[in-house]
Amino acid sequence: MKMIPYGRQDISEDDIQAVANVLRSDYLTQGPVVPAFEKSVKDYCGAKFAVAVNSATSALHISCLALGVGPGDIVWTTPISFVASANCALYCGARIDFVDIDPLTYNMSMDCLSVKLEFAEKEGKLPKVIIPVHLAGQPCNMAAIHSMSERYGFKIIEDASHAIGGRYLDAPIGNGRYSDITVFSFHPVKIITTGEGGMALTNDPEIANKLVRLRSHGITRVQEEMTHITDGPWYYQQLELGFNYRMTDIQAALGLSQIKRLDEFVKKRRKIADRYNKYFADLWVTTPFEAPDSYSATHLYIVRLKLNEIKFSQKDIFEWLRSCGIQVNLHYIPIYRHPYYEKMGYIKKDYPQAEAYYAQAMSLPVYPALSDLQQEEVVQRMNTPIGFQTLF
């Protein structure tokens, strides 16, 4: 049986050629292709600086560090995200807390955020950084978060791992109008891929320099950043404790080739979502919400099962679809439910909307190469209660 995954990469002959060209060139890493890829992403998004790294996880880590997150600080994010959105704060020795989600968008709730900020201010426990996540590509209400950041003085990292190619208020996500740093992921299931890879975008030259240093051991080769006049042409200085989070030219070549098709990828994803929306209008699922001020990159197509209308459980439906070769998935297990986080004392009842979401959510296949026939198969399986009956 041929599997239909929930997401997968789309690789062209041109992509393969671009990678092969790097393999035949002088530089496999730290050559000219990484800066070329950075330029293409920042130009696409309308940001001033872009720093390529080996994953979005690395980008989130050094973004937190570049904004000064450290022991004693608190960072807030949404519980409905990949664990990396929270882990980055812990890497820095900070504490993480979660803001419950909005029942319509499944992104961080602006009402919960504003109430939580009021409380935190009274208790003197305001977050240093907030990390909104554009779940499935649907942008968060960044204008609202930005205005709260001015009132309460926190910094903002947009985890836009799902969102490259999407738009908010008629401008590309990543332009940095409402945040300090935006992070993209280029993992193969994401919108465009470099195999593994990520990028941090900012409009602040100091943050950009810091990101550049942190991705490569904390080393600088820039005289103005050094503590004294250079010892000679070989000289560099390590100014802080950084990492090897560099992207290779092999990866960047794939990204540079992929970004040419970014708009086409997003269009295809959105077309698939539109078709699902039509097919499912009367089915026992809630289809995704898209805010009128946004253009979602549609990394995921998440439905919520109306379990009171059917006689099957969420688990039954997952098992049934998977038994048909349709690799539905659940994005995401609320982060506080993972044993590592549970130990830190988070309690489920603080996040009623995330809990309700987790009990009903399901991601259906959406990726550019999903054929009409494959999509029809997914729809047919979803539409065949008889299938359930024969199975159960």
Ligand X SMILES: *Cc1c(COP(=O)(O)O)cnc(C)c1O
What CA dihedral angle connects 319, 321, 326 and 328, to 10 degrees? -70
Closer CB to ligand X, residue 84 or residue 207? Answer: 84
The residue behind tokens 């990484």 is: 34
User: 215 and 191 in contact (C-beta within 8 Å)?
Assistant: no
| Dihedral angle of Cα 338, 316, 106, 365, to the nearest 10 degrees | 100
Which residue in the set 15, 97, 102, 159 belongs to the binding site for ligand X (CB under 6 A)? 159
Report, in Å, the least distance between residue 383 CB and ligand X: 29
Q: How far apart are the first and last CA of the chain?
A: 21
Residue of 7, 79, 132, 198 interacting with ligand X (CB under 6 A): 198
Q: Which of 40, 55, 63, 363 binds ligand X (CB under 6 A)?
A: 55
Distance CA 5, CA 364 (A): 9
Question: Which of the residues 93 through 152 are near ligand X (CB under 6 A)?
Answer: 133
Min. distance of Cβ 199 from ligand X in angstroms?
10
Q: Based on CB atoms, which residue is closest to ligand X, 82 or 367?
A: 82
CA dist list (Å): 43 to 157, 201, 302: 19, 11, 30
Is 81 a residue that touches ligand X (CB under 6 A)?
Answer: yes
Q: In whole angstroms, how close is the CB of 362 to ligand X at the nearest point?
A: 17
What is the smallest separation between the CB atom of 136 and ligand X, expressed in angstroms?
Answer: 10
Of 171, 170, 202, 168, the residue nearest 184 (C-alpha): 202
Nearest residue (CB) to ligand X, 167 versus 187: 187
Task: Answer yes or no whether residue 56 interacts with ligand X by CB under 6 A.
Answer: yes
Residues 367, 297: Cα–Cα separation, whole Å: 11
Q: What is the dihedral of CA 47, 50, 54, 58, to 10 degrees?
A: -70
Size of the site for ligand X (CB under 6 A): 14
Output the smallest distance, CB 290 to ligand X, in A: 18
- Contact 247/57 with Cβ under 8 angstroms? no
> Per CB under 6 A, which region of 17-25, 50-58, 253-261, 320-328 contacts ligand X?
50-58
Of the two residues 163 and 326, which places its CB atom closer to ligand X in the complex? 163
Question: Which chain residues interact with ligand X by CB under 6 A?
Answer: 55-57, 81-82, 84-85, 133, 159, 161-162, 185, 187, 198
